[in-house]
Amino acid sequence: MKRRTLKQTRGQQQPGHHHNVYVVLLDAAVGKLRRVRAGNPKRDPKKDCVYVGMTGLTPEERFVNHKSGIKDAFVVKRYGIRLLPELYEHLNPMPFEAAVLMEKDLAEDLRREGYTVTGGH
């Protein structure tokens, strides 16, 4: 993968709008973890397990970092399968402050729909 500089990345977007929220599909085995079950008492076992996050990188770059162990979330490194762009693509990019709020809101919305959600702090 060719390394992009921050200047190149920001030049392609609106000024200040370079943060993204993202959703990662997790293996269903993550639903057996006690802390995951405790955080999702009303989960629908038929719905997917997902991780919601926020980044200043592209979601694809961030997912690669998770899987490579760079500032990784344990559940994504171990159970992450792929990104689910259909759940977040329409929201990106945005300013940092909006991304912080959107990460929490998106996690809560998915949790209300019955998804088993991790992350989203």
Domain that holds residue 26: 14-119
Mean pLDDT value of segment 6-32 = 78
Which pLDDT does position 13 carry in this prediction? 52
* Cα–Cα dist 72/14, whole Å: 28
Mean pLDDT value of segment 96-109 = 96
Mean pLDDT value of segment 13-35 = 89
Q: Is 80 helix (H, G, I), strand (E, B) or coil?
A: strand
Residue 7 is assigned to a structural domain of this protein: no
Residue 34 is assigned to a structural domain of this protein: yes
Question: Domain count of the chain?
Answer: 1
Residue 60 is assigned to a structural domain of this protein: yes
Mean pLDDT value of segment 38-67 = 95
More confidently predicted of 81 and 15: 81
- The radius of gyration of the chain's CA atoms, rounded to the nearest angstrom, is 15
Furthest C-alpha separation in the chain: 44
Which pLDDT does position 11 carry in this prediction? 47
Exposure b/e, 16-35, CB count within 10 A at least 16 = b: eebbbbbbbbbeeebbebee
Which pLDDT does position 9 carry in this prediction? 47
